Chains A and B, each alone.
Chain A
Amino acid sequence: MRTPHVGVLALQGDVVEHVHALERAGADVIEVRTPADLERVDALVVPGGESTTVIRLLGRFGLTQPIVERVRGGMPFWGTCMGMIVAAHDVADLEQDTLDLIDVTVRRNAFGRQVDSAEVPLAIPALGDAPFPAVFIRAPWIERTGPAVETLAERDGHGVMVRQGNVLGTSFHPELTGDDRVHAYFLSMMADA
């Protein structure tokens, strides 16, 4: 049996930070830029970046349909910030295309613009008692969750970490912290899949 590979979508954003965190957590990582790259991976992480940019690039480079098919077929998927927006069912008050991989409505820049970006100690019971050093950058929050969606963490009463089966979303950036517990959690989702 070949070693499972975790893909990191490498069209734009903080790709290398995720690659390093996943490698620290014990994964073999492949950067995904083309449909051929996608065929080689067993899970996909979509990093932080600009969602309007990446959703267009996914379409231009023929990745939209293959990703949707693989994730609906059970491939573990984790989106951080931009990645969660891309995966959402829809975006509140904006006409923005998404991949509709998780039954949530997100609100973009919900915690404010860059001057409101913040580091926040976040309670995430699924990761243990120690608060997680969450980095929020022009971050979205979860405005609505469907019945199949579990909210794993909240900030000021708004969902910021959600899971629906094989799909995980975080508003914040564990890849910027050096605390790899969310990366390890995602790898355990992979083991379950």
Chain B
Amino acid sequence: MNGQATGTETVKRGLAQMLKGGVIMDVVTPEQAKVAEEAGAVAVMALERIPADIRADGGVARMSHPALIERIMKAVTIPVMAKVRIGHIGEARQLQALGVDYIDESEVLTPADDLYHLDKAGYTVPFVCGARNLGEALRRIAEGAAMIRSKGEAGSGNIVEAVRHMRAIRDGIVELSVAPREELVARSRDLGAPLELVREVAANKKLPVVLFCAGGVSTPADAALMMELGAEGIFVGSGIFKSTDPAAFARAIVDATTHWQDADVVLKAHTSIPEAAKAMDGLDIRQLAEHQLMASRGN
């Protein structure tokens, strides 16, 4: 068709802009996807196993079976995302051919390449990537990521890493935005990020793509906390379907994300979860060995 352009930066970043203020939920079946959609999720992440189970099972975690992803795509009308291993060109091409709406190049799966991430700019499908700090976020954007999520520690049920990473990204942006112009070249070197992006962040005081939070959200208050710290939306992995009342937790986390500035609504959202229902069990990050941490995969 005349002048029509697919896969542009504007349309890839644009879908993430449409998801802002929303909650993206990990699901492993079409039925869970429907529970998520009914609760008000803006998108679902189609997986074979949620991060808490990947962590418990050990071994190599790969891209999910395409037939499962396809069944989930047919079950809901909201966007469907799926994960590929860091640097796995073969998995990424498959997911683009399948027509998923977003690919998460994710540290939750076992990395395929311990040195390099995907060249994401070359794909029509948009990518989201995790980051622990501003340098990591800008490297992923330079590779073509159209959306960033703070990494947190997936499947831990513990918000502390998400808070650490979101604060680090935010503090990095604040530092650039007040830095004198003559410092930006050296800061680009120290961040390990392209100067052009460093200058853009310094001028605009924000990332050039949408920033969500991931890795450890398990209650409505967790979601409100992360929005307060500057997240533009929330990924919830294990926090919903590892709780004892997924529908109630899903809805309450959506409500708390929408109205994070209004403590009365967040309180009401939390109160709407039956007292007998339990949030997912959490892990003390300090008890995890280095090889058990997912966030340190990919840099």
Contact = CB atoms under 8 A, between A and B. Distances in A.
B285 to A, nearest CB: 31
Given A117-B14, A117-B15, 18 more contacts: A13-B17, A14-B18, A33-B258, A33-B262, A50-B42, A53-B22, A53-B42, A60-B255, A61-B258, A96-B77, A114-B11, A114-B79, A115-B125, A120-B3, A121-B2, A135-B11, A136-B11, A137-B11
Interface stretch (B94-102, B156-164, B189-197): B94-102
Chain A interface mostly: loop
26 contacts: A11-B258, A13-B17, A14-B18, A49-B19, A50-B43, A50-B78, A52-B40, A52-B77, A53-B42, A56-B40, A57-B40, A57-B255, A60-B255, A109-B77, A114-B126, A115-B7, A115-B96, A115-B124, A117-B12, A120-B1, A120-B4, A120-B5, A135-B11, A136-B11, A137-B18, A177-B10
A135 B99 contact: no
B42 A119 contact: no
B30 interface: no
A68 to B, nearest CB: 20
B248 to A, nearest CB: 14
Nearest to B232: A16
Contacts of A136: 11
Interface of B: 1-8, 10-12, 14-15, 17-22, 37-38, 40-43, 77-79, 96, 99-102, 124-126, 254-255, 258-259, 262
A27 interface: no
A81 interface: yes
Given A108-B77, A156-B1, A119 B11 contact: yes
Interface string A25-59: 00000000100000000000000111011001100
A118 interface: yes
A119 B10 contact: yes
B121 to A, nearest CB: 15
Contacts, number: 123
A191 interface: no
A176 B17 contact: yes
Contacts of A163: none
A189 B20 CA distance: 28
A118 B4 CA distance: 6
A115 B17 CA distance: 16
Most B CB contacts (10 A, CB to CB) among A49, A108, A156, A177 go to A49
A17 interface: yes
A94 interface: yes
Nearest to B13: A176
Given A13-B21, A14-B17, A60-B255, A49 B7 contact: no
> Top 8 closest A-B pairs, CB basis?
A114-B101, A117-B11, A12-B21, A14-B17, A50-B42, A48-B18, A121-B3, A118-B6
Contacts of A137: 11, 14-15, 18
B78 A173 contact: no
A1 to B, nearest CB: 31
Interface string A114-153: 1111111100000000000001111000000000000000
A25 B106 CA distance: 40
A84 interface: no
B22 A176 contact: no
Contacts of B125: 114-115
B21 A11 contact: yes
Contact of A53 (B4, B41, B100): B41
A27 B15 CA distance: 26
Interface in A91-112: 94, 96, 108-109
Given A14-B17, A56-B40, A114-B79, A49 B11 contact: no
A113 B15 contact: no
A161 interface: no
A160 interface: no
A60 B259 CA distance: 12
Nearest to A51: B77
Most A CB contacts (10 A, CB to CB) among B21, B43, B259 go to B21
A136 B37 CA distance: 23
